[in-house]
Amino acid sequence: MVFHKLKDWQLHRRTLEHREANGTVGFVPTMGALHQGHRSLLERARQENDHVVLSIFVNPTQFNNPNDFAKYPSTLESDLKIAEEAGVDFVILPTREDIYPDDYRYRVMETTFSKSLCGAHRPGHFDGVLTIVMKLFGLVRPHRAYFGQKDYQQLELIRGMTKSFYLNLEIVPCPTLRETDGLAMSSRNLRLTPAQRKNAPQIARLLKSSLLENKTTDWVKAELSKSGFLVDYVEDVAVGQPPETRRFVAASLGEIRLIDNLSPSEAKDLEV
Ligand code: PAF
């Protein structure tokens, strides 16, 4: 069932009100342009819950670059097909007016981790992400919400927000899905030119080889620059519980900014 009007969804959500009596709600929030990575989140949500909700909303407040927002891919027809194939029960398609009737006067912020890595290069990005996710959690009231580890910093911040605000739901981290050449799946990959697409897996290759061969983050930066990337950062950060050091990269090919991250144990198994 597809909800174009938020009011209709809100009415419908009430029918699932008696949580225990009516089973669990699994939620996958997205900005559309769904790929196999999203499909795997939806399939996992399907396996683990009685009801599965997908939201598609290209959230303007998390784009610090208006051009990136304007060019964000939109593939609604194929998104709905993937949703149906993955067994999604409800798709909600809120509008900007639905989500920001307050014109973004109220927002959720984190003051520390959100200022590093992507946050240092995309001011305000994580305020936008945490705010939309908090709003969607309020609208969907899921028991479980599914997020990919490709956006690991986002996942950590959402986990922290959920704990900090005593939100009554489980955040389920899901492994990064990759193309056969190692490129982490992302909606933005659709915007790469054929030459950029060929070059893009270099990020995963360098993450893997640097971790296995004990090469520094500076070495990765230099290699990426040699391959034509404009590098935002390559950093090692201890994240998760118990803390584990992961290597994080953000680098652009032309207008397209790509991110990825890997732990030493994942590096051993990564096929690139
Ligand atoms: O990861 C995304 O697609 C977005 O950041 C999210 C979580 C749907 C919030 O807009």
Provide the strand spans (E) within the chain.
2-3, 25-30, 51-56, 90-92, 144-148, 170-174, 230-239, 244-253, 256-262
- 226, pLDDT greater than 70: yes
Q: Which pLDDT tens digit goes with each residue over 72-100? A: 999 999 999 999 999 999 999 999 999 99
Q: Which pLDDT tens digit goes with each residue over 240-257? A: 888 999 999 999 999 999
Q: What are phi and psi of 211, to 5 degrees?
A: -70, -40
Cis peptide bond N-terminal to 242, omega within 30: yes
Which residue's alpha carbon is at the smallest distance from atom 8 of ligand 1?
A: 30
- Return the ligand 1 atom nearest residue 55 CA: 8
- pLDDT confidence of residue 162: 98
Site residues for ligand 1, CB cut-off 6 Å = 29-31, 59, 62, 129, 132-133, 151, 154
In angstroms, the CA 202 to CA 219 distance is 13
Whole-model pTM over 0.75: yes
Q: What domains, with CATH codes, occur in the chain?
A: 2-174 (3.40.50.620), 187-261 (3.30.1300.10)
Q: How far is the CA of 264 from the centre of ligand 1 (A)?
A: 26
